[in-house]
Amino acid sequence: MKTINLVTVSPETRRIIKKQVISLIKKGKKQIEIAETVGISPQAVKRISSAYKKEGTTCLKEKKRGRKLGEKRLLTSAQEKEIYHILIDKSPDQMKLCFMLWTRAAVCQLVQEKYGITMTQRNMSEYLKRWGMTCQRPTKKAYFQDNVKLNAFMHETYPAIVKKAKQEDAVIYWGDETGINNQAYHVTGFAPKGQTPTVPSFSKVEKINMISAISNQGSCHFLCYEENMTQQRFIEFMERLIKDTDRKVLFIVDNLKVHHGRIVRGWLSEHKDEIELFFTSPYSPEINPDEYLNHSLKQNIHSGIIPHTKEQMCRKTEKFMLELQTYGEKVSCYFQHKQLEYIKMYGY
């Protein structure tokens, strides 16, 4: 007769078998008889009997199997806590490691240098997961960005622009230029394993440019062009902007050389009652909401059917921008980015 292995059965079945064994023990049955009756080995009956004599009916309760929490770990809780705080507060280069980001290899090397403990990257994955760490694509920040100037713009210059807009009943617009070509393609697609899908690549690079302006209230204006941005073209766009706006415009742009040109300054001095120009801090695209519009535009252009001529790129760009002009709430969504909380703080 084949005996039942108590290890392989479910906890509930194991509990029932133990109760049967204990009941037969109370009736004075011998271990061999109990084993034959219940269908388990005599050794199993002996273990249940010993446990019952020591613990009573509490032996029916299932004990948690496997390692205890924290048992057999390479790092102590104090070491884990120290490594965790290093990952939060410092970068690898600050710890004199040859890494830009905290990768598994970087953390393994940190542990090796601090405690002399060698860990595999697979093992480190478990530690990082336990600490609530996830692998993420980093955001980019300009190397030459000046944090002092950045904070000055967000908490001094912009509040002053808002105050001026309220006093003069003006509207604030944010502007930026962007380039679009027929080479980039960011969408992924499904295919059988090992059979990488292909998309057509065009040897001739075609490019168009666009300048746009958006307001906190959801207004959107744009102009597509093929050549580089010039002072005259920038003036042309501002002329269109003030023509389509029934209030004075306070126009915030980046520090492109064209924006500071002599011809532009002369034109602005002649139209100071209609428009004024302000500049964000250098190398700080993330604080301009129009940058997020450009990102959405490029995602739209480079998804679906790939445009490969200037005409096709223009049509797709205009379709996207005209839709934004129709649905102003989509434009307002660009101001909800966490990097733009200072705009919500000071309003307008």
Order of strands, sheet of 249-253, starting from the edge strand that comes earlier in the sequence: 220-225, 207-215, 171-181, 249-253, 275-279
Half-sphere exposure of 177 (CA within 13 A, CB side): 20
Alpha helices in 131-276 (DSSP H): 147-152, 158-168, 231-243, 262-270
Residue 302's pLDDT is what?
83
Query: pLDDT confidence of 321, banded at 50, 70, 90?
Result: very high
Residue 323 has pLDDT above 70, yes or no: yes
Each residue of 87-116: pLDDT tens digit?
999 999 999 999 999 999 999 999 999 999
The reported pLDDT for the residue numbered 184 is 66
CB atoms under 10 Å from CB of 171, counted, come to 19
pLDDT, mean of residues 150-159: 96
| 335-344: average pLDDT | 94
> Rounded to an integer, what distance in angstroms lies between the CA atom of residue 242 and that of residue 277?
12
| pLDDT at 185 (0 to 100) | 62
Per-residue pLDDT at 110: 96
Domain boundaries, the chain: 11-60, 77-130, 147-193+200-346
For residue 207, the model assigns a pLDDT of: 92
The pTM (predicted TM-score) of the whole model is 0.70
Whether domain 147-193+200-346 has CATH 3.30.420.10: the reply is yes
Residue 1, pLDDT score: 58
- Of the candidate ranges 3-7, 150-154, 281-285, 322-326, the one whose mean pLDDT is the lowest: 3-7
Question: In the beta sheet, which residues pair with residue 223?
Answer: 211
Inter-CA distances, 76 with 73, 88, 131, 252, Å = 7, 19, 14, 53
pLDDT digit string (tens) for 163-185?
A: 999 999 999 999 999 999 887 66
For range 155-161, the mean pLDDT = 96
For residue range 74-89, list pLDDT tens digits in order. Answer: 999 999 999 999 999 9
Hey, which bits of the chain come out as E strands? 171-181, 207-215, 220-225, 249-253, 275-279
Which residue is it, tokens 């004199």?
96
| Averaged pLDDT, 151-160 | 96
Number of H helices, E strands in the chain: 14, 5
Please, are residues 243 and 211 in contact by the beta-carbon 8 Å criterion? Answer: no
What are the two backbone dihedrals, phi and then psi, of residue 183, each rounded to the nearest 5 degrees?
Answer: -100, -40
The pair of structure tokens assigned to 298 is 């490029």
Query: Cα 166 vs. chain centroid, distance in angstroms?
Result: 36
Q: What's the mean pLDDT when you consider all of the chain? A: 90
Read off the amino acid at residue 43. Q
pLDDT band at 141 (very low <50, low <70, confident <90, very high): confident
- Cα 118-120-125 angle, rounded to 5 deg: 125
